[in-house]
Amino acid sequence: MNMKRILLSCLLVSLFSCLPVWSQTKLTAEQQKEIVAKVDKGASAMTQMQCEFSQTKSMKLLSKEMQSKGVMYLKKPDKLRWQYTSPYDYTFIMNGDKVQIKSTKSTKNIDVQGNKMFRQITNIILNSVTGGTLKSSNDFTVEIYKADAAYYAKLLPKKKELKQLYQYLEIWFNPALTMVSSVKMVEKTGDVTVVKLTNTKIGVAVDEKLFAIH
Amino acid sequence: MAQEAGDSVVSREYNLLMQVKGQELTSICMMNISPDGSIVGTVVNEMGMKAFDFTYNHGKAKVLNVVAFLDKWYIRRVLRRDLAYILPKLEPDQECHYKRRWITYTFTPMNNETD
């Protein structure tokens, strides 16, 4: 019996040692500064963009995933259209201090200035897709990691309101650090949402009408 | 979207509209129903942010993990009572309206959405 256990242990150890190890390294303060500067350079150069996105939310209580997808349009400094097309229609439009939320059943206009919580959330969305969050150190403590060829920023909330929502956020960049490739949000409850940006087009003319709020 | 099976867990998804004093709140409500009738579920907004989780067992509902800005004892109490009333009555494949004292709830199955 003991021999069997030893053999089983050896087998497990050798099996796991054969698995590829996903290496990630936390960058030093100096390296981090360099990466933030590169991301910021890319973000500053980008004035408008559009992309498709897929969103997967893993729900701890239900042990299941909810998947949705859509399109996103951005025009700096403060215009964003985040539109879900499947499995439901839902559009979030931000235009300056105004936000419009449209679903099949209702349309709601919100003045972001009058709603601190909403202002923080819209800032997170906007800055996450551009990478701008790395510089705004008021909301998060930023740690940058290198994982194989890619870099990602781990954002740890500083403020009470954000701590109540998120454990942390991860913003993943393409290897050239020119654009955000995905955003992972880990909620306080353990639910995880991953948004992947694909087919990203930077610099294409985005129609102003897409941000119109009526 | 929904999975129906004889003696296994049944999964259902609804678009949920809550109307409170002229304000409207849309969300997605997902739940797993066990063969014994107990339910675990979650309500998230369309962008993926959780509003609250809930459980239902033997006629009683519990509300868990309520998002901070809704996490008040009186809100939890209203939701708990309303869910205990609504959950056993929900239909899997048709839109259901429930007018309670403070909130009107509309559950629309996600594979059977109507405007």
Specify whether the CB–CB gap between A101 and A112 falls below 8 A: no
Cβ <8 Å between A164 and B68: yes
Q: How far apart are CA A122 and CA A73, in angstroms?
A: 14
Structure tokens of A3? Answer: 């021999």
| ipTM metric | 0.80
Q: In this complex, do A106 and B64 lie within 8 Å of one another by their Cβ atoms?
A: no
- pLDDT digit string (tens) for A87-100? 989 999 999 888 89
**Residue B42 banded pLDDT, cuts 50, 70, 90:** very high
| CB contact (8 A) between residue B50 and residue A187 | yes
- pLDDT one-digit tens code per residue, A164-177: 888 999 999 888 87
Q: Closest partner residue to B42 among A55, A61, A193, by Cβ? A: A61
Q: What is the pLDDT of residue A20?
A: 46
**Any idea what DSSP says for residue B3?**
B
Q: pLDDT tens digit string along A48-80?
A: 999 999 999 999 888 889 999 999 999 988 899
- Each residue of B74-108: pLDDT tens digit? 999 999 999 999 999 998 888 999 998 888 999 99
**Could you give the CA distance from residue A196 to residue A184 in angstroms, rounded to a whole number?**
9
SS3 for A142? strand
Query: For residue B36, what are its two tokens?
Result: 């014994």
pLDDT of amino acid B41: 96
Does A66 contact chain B (CB < 8 Å)? yes
- A105 close to B17: Cβ distance less than 8 angstroms: yes
Higher model confidence: residue A137 or residue A81? Answer: A81
Cα separations (Å) of A150 from A103, A133, B19, B102, B109?
Answer: 36, 18, 45, 50, 40
pLDDT of residue A106: 81
| Residue A7 covered by a domain | no
- The pLDDT assigned to A174 comes to 85
Q: Give domain status of residue A182, yes or no.
A: yes
Q: Is residue A132 part of a domain?
A: yes
Residue at A46 is within a domain: yes
Mean pLDDT value across chain B = 87
Q: How far is A111 from chain B (nearest CA, A)?
A: 15
In a domain, A142, yes or no: yes
The enclosing domain of A49 has a CATH number of 2.50.20.10
Evaluate whether A153 touches A144 at the Cβ level (below 8 Å).
yes
Q: How many CB pairs below 8 Å do chains A and B form together?
A: 78
Using one digit for the tens of pLDDT, what is the confidence trace for A137-166? Answer: 678 898 999 988 889 999 999 888 788 888
Put simply, the answer to whether B44 touches A55 (Cβ < 8 Å) is no
Distance CA B43, CA B52 (A): 5
B-chain residues near A88 (CB < 8 A): 15, 28, 46, 110, 113
Confidence of residue A179 (pLDDT cuts 50, 70, 90): confident
CB of A191 closer than 8 Å to CB of A57: yes
> What confidence score (pLDDT) does residue B73 get?
94
Report yes or no on A12 lying in a domain. no
In-domain check, residue A40? yes
Residue-wise burial string across A80-118, b where 16 or more C-beta atoms lie within 10 A, e elsewhere: bbbbbeebbebbbbbbeeebbbbbebeeeebebeeeeeb
- With a pLDDT cut of 90, the percent of chain A lying above it is 34
Structural domain boundaries enclosing A75: 23-211
CA distance linking residue B114 with residue B112, whole number of Å: 7
pLDDT of residue A67: 93
A164 in contact with B, Cβ within 8 Å: yes
Task: Determine whether A176 is exposed, middle or buried from the number of CB atoms within 10 Å of its CB (0-12, 13-18, 19+).
Answer: exposed
Domain count, chain A: 1
Give a yes or no: residue A131 inside a domain.
yes
Closest chain B residue by Cα to residue A108: B24
State the DSSP code for A63. T
Residue at A154: amino acid letter: K
Select from B3, B33, B50, B64 the residue whose CB has the most chain A CBs within 10 Å, as the one to mutate to test that interface. B50
Considering CB atoms only, which of B11, B46, B48 is closest to A103? B46
Which span out of A27-36, A94-103, A169-178, B37-46 was modeled with the highest average pLDDT? B37-46
